[in-house]
A and B are shown apart, each in its own frame.
Chain A
């Protein structure tokens, strides 16, 4: 009984001092460490997911920007072409209008010249008619014709 008391108390004392608390402490510590690590891993995962999402968002934004820039430049190109075309058209129209105006002017000029010519011709004819007193109509028309024939080069001019 005394040996039992001695032996058991020695073992109890040694194990209680350097045995069980070490084992229990280490296992608890490790359990804590494992659960902490799991939480940290979860957090890191979440953070990674956040980064992933941000990356995807940025990528999408960039792509949209790209598309926008391309569209804009295409728009601009079209606009430029359109402008150039319009300008060219306006120029051409202007030139045509100028030409028309010039033609008109020349026409008018020619007209007025012709008028003046016709007038002088008529006056000449009338002069000639008045100079010749003609009775009959036939003779008159023949005469007009003769005059006209005479003045053929003038009329044609």
Chain B
């Protein structure tokens, strides 16, 4: 019984590999099409037809003003066609791969001001909605009766919250400042954590690789930069602008202040790159393992592809498990470093 089941699975895999043999896989567009942003949400493929959730495209052209339309129009365009002057550049485009571009009156290809509600935007709002739906009922219950015996749900929320509060935030930030910065740090932690986890779920409505996207980590790093520098106290700014170093290092050429100012920028920059690179790398590895089946299948025939799929799937399971770990670790690291930077900016002179 067990043996025959194994045979059936193997045969199915072989059939799958065989059925896809005809298509030659463009690995680069396959990987970056999935890990990158997109204008439509590809759900599945039934009998060769793509089933997609169309997202709104919002773009502002310098010549024709605002355009709002469903991404259906631009995603289903054939080569050389445009919709209202717009089309999506192929992944092979050197300048704007996979982005919405506009053909203006002179026939030049330009990038419009793009406010489209993309797949990542969808993913972001999904996580936002999830977070609100996850945490607000608990807050409401606490507000109603703080002394009531906590329910199991409240216990879970408490555990999650205090895991971050006691493990990450409290050790780094002066005690009196914790209530001021904890909401931001908690929000950032759970935002990154849920984004990472949702990114690992490979089907609609999840699967948008939000945190593996530089512009998203940039916003998060920017928030930390603001929290550190805008709320930084006098002592912190004195350490940057007039540090305790020999005078010639800060006057007449303010060498140390310049270095310190640059270092305030490098900290969030490192945060941004670290999160982005870790998450993107994990997704790429999983995608490559997936692509490997078709690459080998294409090179050596369906049989080899099927054989590879067994190894590949095992590796993918392993990588996905590892990515679950990474999802937590990266959220943890981002929050911990943010709270250390904030804590440093809140230090009082001893």
Q: Which residues of A contact B (CB under 8 A)?
A: 1-5, 7-8, 10-12, 14-16, 18-27, 29-30, 33
Contacts and interface: CB of A to CB of B under 8 A. Distances in A.
B161 A7 contact: no
A12 B216 contact: no
Interface string B200-214: 000000000010000
A1 B215 contact: yes
Contacts of B121: 3-4, 7
Contacts of A11: 128, 131-132, 187, 191
Given A3-B120, A4-B216, A5-B219, A15 B132 contact: yes
A15 to B, nearest CB: 5
B161 A20 contact: yes
Of the listed residues A18, A23, A24, A25, the one surrounded by the most CB atoms of chain B closer than 10 A to its CB is A23
Contacts of A5: 219
A23 B158 contact: yes
Given A22-B143, A29-B146, A30-B146, A4 B184 contact: no
Contacts of A10: 128
A4 B157 CA distance: 25
Contacts of B161: 20, 23-24, 27
A1 B124 CA distance: 10
Nearest to A10: B128
Interface stretch (B134-142, B263-271, B288-296, B313-321): B134-142
Interface of B: 115, 117-118, 120-121, 124-125, 127-128, 131-132, 135-136, 138-140, 142-143, 146-147, 157-158, 161-162, 165, 179, 182-184, 186-187, 191, 210, 215-216, 218-220, 223
B182 A15 contact: no
B83 to A, nearest CB: 22
Given A3-B118, A4-B124, A12-B187, A22 B223 contact: no
Contact of A8 (B118, B136, B142, B191): B191
A20 to B, nearest CB: 4
A10 B219 CA distance: 13
Nearest to B139: A22
A30 B157 CA distance: 15
B82 to A, nearest CB: 24
Contact of B128 (A7, A20, A30): A7
Contact of B183 (A2, A3, A20, A29): A20
Contacts of A29: 146-147
Given A3-B121, A11-B131, A19 B219 contact: no
The 4 A-B residue pairs with the shortest CB-CB distance in the complex, in nearest-first order: A26-B142, A3-B121, A16-B183, A26-B146
Contacts of A18: 136, 139, 143
A23 B219 contact: no
Contacts of A16: 183-184, 187
Given A2-B115, A3-B125, A23-B158, A15 B165 contact: no
Contact of B216 (A1, A19, A22, A27): A1
A26 B216 CA distance: 32
A14 B136 contact: yes
A23 B223 contact: no
Given A23-B158, A26-B142, A8 B128 contact: yes
A27 B128 contact: no
Of the listed residues A14, A20, A25, the one surrounded by the most CB atoms of chain B closer than 10 A to its CB is A20
B146 A25 contact: yes
A152 to B, nearest CB: 130
Given A20-B186, A23-B157, 13 more contacts: A3-B120, A4-B216, A8-B223, A16-B187, A19-B136, A20-B135, A20-B161, A25-B142, A26-B146, A27-B158, A27-B162, A29-B147, A30-B146
